[in-house]
Every structure is written in C-alpha cells, then in structure tokens.
Structure 1
Amino acid sequence: MAKESDFYQVYEVFSRRGNKAPMQHQFSLLAPNKEMAMLMAQENFMRREEVIDVWVVRQSDIRKMTSEERQGLTNRLDNKEYRTTKGYGYLRQKWKEKEQGMLDEKEIMSWREVKRK
C-alpha cells in the first residue's frame, strides 16, 4: 500500500478574471489527482470571485530556473546601460535656459503699449 504522503500531491491554482486579464496564482492545495484538484479549486475559489478560467498545475510539473540559469540571465541584463537615460540629465537645464530666452505673452503685450505712445 502506498504511503499517505505519496497519495496527495501539491497543485498550484491559477485564475483569470476577464478575457484580457492575465492568469494569476491564487493558492496551493493538496489533492490525490488533477480532477479532484480542479473540483477543490472550483469549490474553494470560484464561489468567492467571478472568474472565467481556472488552471490547476501539479507543482512537480513546474520547472524553475536553476541558479546557473538565473546568474546567466542576471549577467545578460546587467550590460544594458545604454538603455538608461543617465546621459541626458543636462537637457533639463538647457530647456530651462531656452524657455527663459523665449518671449512670453506679457513681454509681447508690453511692446504694443510702447507703440501707441
């Protein structure tokens, strides 16, 4: 006879609230098989919130990144300094100087009054 710990498996439950909404992880549950996991997810979740789709996935079927893969991804993402806007900080000051040099409405109206005299 199988051990009780082998009988139950951990399932992750995901749901979607609308057609354009993303799938979101909701909770984990213990169930003997995927059909029972789906019934339990529907019973525990769908009666509380309106959802249009529910996914149940056995936790052991989910593949996580290894530490080597994660390190490789981090190294690849760290060399994107060209995407930051650090080099454009001086432009704000240039725009201020340019705006100060431009004519404003009061200044233009003051010219009109000078011409009338």
Structure 2
Amino acid sequence: MQLNGSAGDYEVYEVFVQYDHLEHHVHVGSVVSSSGEMALQVARENFLRRDDAVNLWVVPRGQVFATSYEDADFFAKEMDHSYREASGYPENAKLWKSFKQRAIELEDLIRD
C-alpha cells in the first residue's frame, strides 16, 4: 500500500525486532515511511524506546508474501500423521492402571 503525500510517496513497513542473539526476530508492528532508512529510524523510536535489541528489520508490506484467509486448502495436511500425536497417552495410562489393578500377582499364582 502506498500513500501519496505532498512530500513524496509513503509506504507501510512491517517491523521485526531481535531482542537477543539467540532469539528469533519478532513482528512488533508497522510504520509508515518514505524510505527504508527512515523506516528504521521511525521503528527504533516507536518500538525500542524502552527495550534493548540486537537487530531490527523493516520490510515493505508489498514485499511480504502471504496466504489468503480463504485458502484453507493450503493448510490441509496431505498425509495422515495422527500416529505422531500424543492424544492417546492419557487413555493408555488409564488402561494400564486398570490392567495392573486386575492383574494376578505372582504370590496369588503360587498360593493356588
């Protein structure tokens, strides 16, 4: 999206901040600026006034490639990987507990 103004064309930039060398960049918001260099300055003033950071990215919104909200097929799973999910573990624990309660002890076998 470009905004036309008397001082030139302005563009929306998405701002990403890396707070520590071991962390990923995090999207923190957007700024409107006439250039990338100015967007860096505006982002620093708006988003790093109180926080420390090690890196700052600004990306023109028009350069961000995104999926459409209507494209649900894009996120559909192509193969069934339900065997990888841990949803069955609580049920397995209940079954194991009931099995152990009903299991015959070695002493019971010896007595018989």
TM-score, scaled relative to structure 1: 0.66
Equivalence for 1:47? 49
- Give unpaired runs (5+ residues) of structure 1: 104-117
1:1-117 counterparts in 2 under 5 A? 3-4=4-5, 7-66=9-68, 70-76=71-77, 79-85=80-86, 91-100=92-101, 101=103
- Give unpaired runs (5+ residues) of structure 2: 106-112
More strand by share: 2
With over 3 angstroms needed to count, the CA separation of the structure-2 counterparts of 1:83 and 1:35, relative to structure 1, is: same
Amino acid at match of 1:8: Y
The percent of aligned pairs where both chains have the same amino acid is 29
CA RMSD of aligned residues (A): 3.0
TM-score, scaled relative to structure 2: 0.68
Mapped partners of 1:32, 1:77: distance in 2: 43
Equivalence for 1:113? none
With over 3 angstroms needed to count, the CA separation of the structure-2 counterparts of 1:34 and 1:88, relative to structure 1, is: closer
- After superposition, the C-alpha distances for 1:34-64 in whole angstroms (9 at most, x for unaligned) are 0110111112222321111110111111011
Equivalence for 1:106? none
Is the deviation greater in 40-49 or in 56-65? Answer: 40-49
More helix by share: 1
Mapped partners of 2:43, 2:87: distance in 1: 48
- After superposition, the C-alpha distances for 1:45-91 in whole angstroms (9 at most, x for unaligned) are 223211111101111110112467x4333322673333335556653
Mapped partners of 2:75, 2:82: distance in 1: 13
With over 3 angstroms needed to count, the CA separation of the structure-2 counterparts of 1:76 and 1:97, relative to structure 1, is: closer
Amino acid at match of 1:16: Q
With over 3 angstroms needed to count, the CA separation of the structure-2 counterparts of 1:63 and 1:92, relative to structure 1, is: same
Q: In terms of Rg, which structure is larger?
A: 1
